[in-house]
Chains A and B, each alone.
Chain A
Amino acid sequence: MNETYSLEMRQIVKTFGPVVANDRVDFRCRPGEVHALLGENGAGKSTIMCMLSGVYRPTSGEIYIRGKQAKIRSPKDAAKLGVGMVFQNFRLVQTLTATENIVLGEKSSFWRGPGWLRRKEEEIEAIAKRFGLLFPVDRPIWQLSVGEQQRVEIVKTLYRGAEFIILDEPTSVLTPGEAEQLFETLAQMKAEGKTVILTTHKMKEVMAAADRISVMRKGRMIHTIAKADTNEKELAKLMVGKESAAVRRESRPRAKGPVLLEVRNLDVYGDHGRLALNDLSLTIRAGEIVGVAGVAGNGQKELAEVLNGLLPWKKGKIVFNGREFKTASVRGAIEAGISHVPENRMKSGLAGSLGVVDNLLFKSYRSGERSKYGFLRSASNREWSQSLVEQFDVRTPGLDTPVRQLSGGNQQKLLFAREIHRNPHLMVAVHPTQGLDVGATEAVHRLLENLRDEGRSVLLISEDLDEVMQLSDRILVLYNGSIVGERGREEADRETIGMYMAGIRDEKEEAV
């Protein structure tokens, strides 16, 4: 109960079944600081914050707030103690307006006429203005951009009088410009004496925004340090547990291959009849990795789906390997040699309750090697699966283990095994390293680079700008369903790409 700490978590343990998510974690915050909680995906940052905000209950350990032991059994308890959290997946009701979402849970005033609503809207706008968080208060959430939704979330915690504000990976959904704006808001909160806790795995943010930094790794608290006393290199070392290799690989100049995929003036309608791809054109040559950067929801999903035959297009044409696609057909795309690593591997990539063999068979069961007269060749299929599992280093207890039980990294390797062994001409990989640890990420990156080195092509769609910049030979930026900018590997820098991501077009290109 040191007086300099306004918040203390002591020896927190949290287990989910056999998995230990937090192992005796200590965490302390001073009043009026911006405290960054740094760690890889899966290091246990979100878990410990969820316990502070009452979503999870610790298996053991104690929490002290303002020197007094706190029992946080529910989000309600947390709110009473002045703890508010902005989750990575926003907790907003899509059909309600911003104001309704913010006052949700408020007990006062059973009757809520138009007058009451107007007063609340004014109150909320005043808070929003004070912290530089602007959004339309009377619009339903589904009409707001992701950045605006995040502002609604932050105002929600402020409106409820939170003194401790937890932001879980706040910049993962923002453009670099929006992130800048967010950091200004954090500074304002600090100036008003609020304690801000920021979980992230991005070093740049930590150095830009934090006063003190706590590093977590594999469910344990490694170290807490003031920003002034450290540097990026030391933090990276603490975070991954080993000196991380120089991220950017040597680029090798290579001969340009022939055009493999040509997409011209494509219009595609997404969910609810929204124009998701708008007059989109792109070209992919053999033997290159083309990265697609952009803020989520600008047509990435639809681009991947249309290339894999999952979504029809309204206008334009797709020519692959010299043949024009006539209609959207998944089987057509598979047979033409397009592989797909979908955004959500457990939703549209693998069947969780089926075993390794069945999952590997999904795209090749029709071939004569795998089946005869409509019956699967079980024995030879098992041998074949075993060889793939070994080749791609998938760690699995057995060939019949439901793939749901594998770790995220091994699931992804299994998926790559299925998609790569068919020797595709083009692989469309969407967020291929989402939720993977360093080792698995490394393995996936190597697989993609090997494909390229064999003269095959990769369309890499990712929200992680660093990943796109590290792997791609060319970078395209998707905004509002169109490609708004293109940069070669050498000429790409974060600033320009960030401008494109925010929809600011290059004047030079506009003139052409």
Chain B
Amino acid sequence: MDLITQLLVAALSSGTPLLFATLGGILIERSGIIQLGAEGLMLMGAVAACLTYLHTGSLALTLLAALAVGAALGLIHSALTVTLRANQIVSGLAMTLFGTGLSAYLGKSITGQPIPGAVPKIDLAFLEPVPVVGDLFAHLDLLTWLSFLLVIVLHLFIHRTSWGLHLRAIGDNPPTADVMGIPVQAFRYGCIVVGSMLIGLAGADLLLVYSPTWIEGMTAGRGWIAVALIIFARWNPLRAMFCAYFFGAMDTIGFKIQLIGSAIPSYFLKMIPYVVTILVLMFLGYRNRNKPSGSPEALGLPYIREQRF
């Protein structure tokens, strides 16, 4: 494998958890609710997956646990932001702080225990001879294939179904959606809960596939990167895929440089994804300075029906 192929493979594996979290976030924010709890949700998903796997050894139960934890936290976020109309930023930050703290407590007993090979790989032997493609796709695990599928499903859902149309309307103009008979609040609940489940799954993927040991705070800011990726991808699942792999590559590029034996201190190399985040934001802000951002118009605004307008 040459260096570029190695980088692509690494980008795929470290980008997949980011992709899950970004897709979840897109679903939530398309409904007009700001999602800043990804870091906490991912940690909770990871610790729930780790505990379940160590106790039961069943992959299905493990994934279910991560999804369930995501759904529970999503339900809290929706109750706060949709029903009680709490500030969405504060609620999201609370999710992150709460998730970080609780996951650290729950994971105390299992810190450092390895979880090898929990997710089966799907071997596609016929792909092996093909250059690059073989290296990338011949031995991918189940969850990565699931993430590909999710991108397509979410894209079709948003752009090709009646519910997707409702979702786009709710995120842009909830009073209009309401007048057209769409249950705005129920839709928002649904999107937040399902989106949070995906973010919980992102945590499980990170733990089971990418770095198979529970360590406190193991997401190391990936939740926040996912928040930024939602914006880079301009709330579009297909673009989210490319953005996630790009940042996955940035994430691993530090290791690669270290392996070559460069003299740059590793602290600086670890900063790469975050520095790139800032640079990309600046670049996109400059390039799109005269364009609408593509963000849902009603993002961050609670909806109350009987308000004088």
Contact = CB atoms under 8 A, between A and B. Distances in A.
A56 B307 CA distance: 9
A94 B291 CA distance: 14
Interface residues of A, number: 32
Contacts of A100: 165
B290 A272 contact: yes
Contact of A75 (B161, B179, B308): B179
Interface stretch (A102-110, A384-392, A412-420, A445-453): A102-110
A56 to B, nearest CB: 6
Given A93-B169, A272-B290, A273-B290, A16 B308 contact: yes
Interface stretch (B77-85, B170-178, B240-248): B170-178
Contact of B306 (A57, A92, A109): A57
Nearest to B183: A76
B109 interface: no
A76 B306 CA distance: 15
B169 A104 contact: yes
Contacts of B177: 93, 104-105
A95 interface: yes
Nearest to B170: A93
Given A75-B178, A104-B182, A105-B182, A112 B169 contact: no
B297 A94 contact: yes
Interface in A68-103: 74-76, 79, 85, 87, 89, 91-96, 100, 103
A374 interface: no
A111 interface: yes
B3 interface: no
Interface residues of B, number: 26
A246 B290 CA distance: 48
A95 B168 contact: yes
A18 interface: no
B161 to A, nearest CB: 5
Contact of B173 (A53, A92, A103, A273): A92
Contacts of A107: 162
B292 to A, nearest CB: 7
B181 interface: yes
Given A104-B169, A104-B182, A273-B290, A93 B176 contact: yes
B168 A74 contact: no
A55 interface: yes
Contacts of B308: 16
A96 B165 contact: yes
Contacts of A96: 165, 168-169, 172
A439 interface: no
A79 B161 contact: no
Contact of A91 (B160, B175, B290, B291): B175
A191 to B, nearest CB: 27
Interface in A490-512: none
Contacts of A109: 162
A105 B160 contact: no
Given A91-B175, A93-B173, A104 B292 contact: no
Contact of A111 (B160, B172, B176, B181): B160
B162 A91 contact: no
A81 to B, nearest CB: 12
B309 A89 contact: yes
A262 B39 CA distance: 58
B163 interface: yes
A72 B306 CA distance: 14
Contacts of A95: 168, 172, 297
Interface string B212-241: 000000000000000000000000000000
Contacts of A55: 179, 305-306
B166 interface: yes
Given A93-B168, A103-B165, A112 B176 contact: no
Interface string A261-275: 000000000001100
A272 B291 contact: yes
Contacts of B173: 91-94
B125 interface: no
Interface in B283-309: 290-292, 297, 305-306, 308-309
A113 interface: yes
B50 to A, nearest CB: 37
B180 interface: yes
Interface in B148-205: 160-163, 165-166, 168-169, 172-173, 175-182
B285 to A, nearest CB: 15
B49 to A, nearest CB: 32
A108 B176 CA distance: 19
Contacts of B291: 272
B166 A104 contact: yes
Nearest to A272: B290
A13 to B, nearest CB: 15
A95 B158 CA distance: 13
A346 to B, nearest CB: 13
A167 to B, nearest CB: 15
A91 B163 contact: no
Interface of B: 160-163, 165-166, 168-169, 172-173, 175-182, 290-292, 297, 305-306, 308-309
18 contacts: A55-B306, A57-B306, A85-B179, A87-B179, A91-B179, A93-B168, A93-B169, A94-B297, A95-B168, A95-B172, A96-B165, A100-B165, A103-B165, A106-B162, A107-B162, A110-B162, A111-B160, A111-B161
Given A95-B172, A104-B169, 11 more contacts: A16-B308, A55-B305, A75-B179, A93-B169, A96-B172, A105-B177, A105-B181, A107-B162, A109-B162, A112-B161, A273-B290
Interface pairs A-B: 10 shortest CB-CB:
A105-B180, A273-B290, A76-B181, A91-B176, A75-B179, A105-B181, A93-B173, A104-B180, A93-B169, A93-B172
Interface of A: 16, 53, 55-57, 74-76, 79, 85, 87, 89, 91-96, 100, 103-113, 272-273
